[in-house]
């Protein structure tokens, strides 16, 4: 097992229904969120987005039921035919709070949450 593979498994993934807006150099793509963790997001591959691993984007996750927003910079971590995984490289403070609360509510284990928060680079 590589260190990168081990890194991915350190963070609990939460399936969540939300819309996503990806942008780069004035271009935008809309998609659906498949899952989210403290370290990344996986989305449905949006039509017209041609990307490579390591490419950087700005991403917004929009929770329509609560009106909250998670906004930050991401890097493409993996690409599949139907989905793209992004690593969160920078996140705004308000978005970090929303993300932490979302993970906290869904994993239900305070010790696991604390371990995941400790492992973050953007903390």
54-88: per-residue pLDDT in tens?
Answer: 999 999 998 777 666 889 999 999 999 899 999 99
Q: In the CATH hierarchy, which fold is given to the domain comprising 3-119?
A: Thrombin, subunit H (2.40.10)
27: closest CA among 52, 4, 47? 47
Confidence of residue 98 (pLDDT cuts 50, 70, 90): confident
Opening angle at CA 28, ends 19 and 74, nearest 5: 70
pLDDT digits (tens, 9 = 90+) for 19-47: 999 999 999 999 999 998 888 999 999 99
69: closest CA among 121, 17, 18? 18
Task: Please tell me whether residue 13 adopts helix, strand or coil conformation.
Answer: coil
Alpha-carbon distance 101 to 7, whole Å? 21
> Can you give the pLDDT at residue 11?
64
pTM: 0.77
């Amino acid at each position: 097992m590589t260190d990168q593979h081990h890194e991915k498994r350190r963070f609990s993934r939460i399936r969540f229904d939300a819309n996503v807006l990806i942008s780069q150099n004035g271009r935008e793509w809309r998609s659906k969120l498949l899952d989210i963790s403290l370290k990344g997001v996986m989305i449905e591959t949006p039509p017209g987005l041609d990307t490579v691993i390591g490419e950087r984007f700005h991403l917004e996750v929009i929770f329509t039921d609560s009106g909250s927003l998670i906004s930050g910079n991401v890097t493409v971590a993996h690409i599949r035919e139907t989905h793209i995984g992004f690593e969160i490289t920078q996140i705004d403070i308000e978005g970090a709070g929303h993300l932490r609360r979302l993970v906290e509510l869904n994993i239900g284990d305070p010790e696991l949450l604390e371990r995941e928060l400790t492992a973050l680079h953007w903390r």
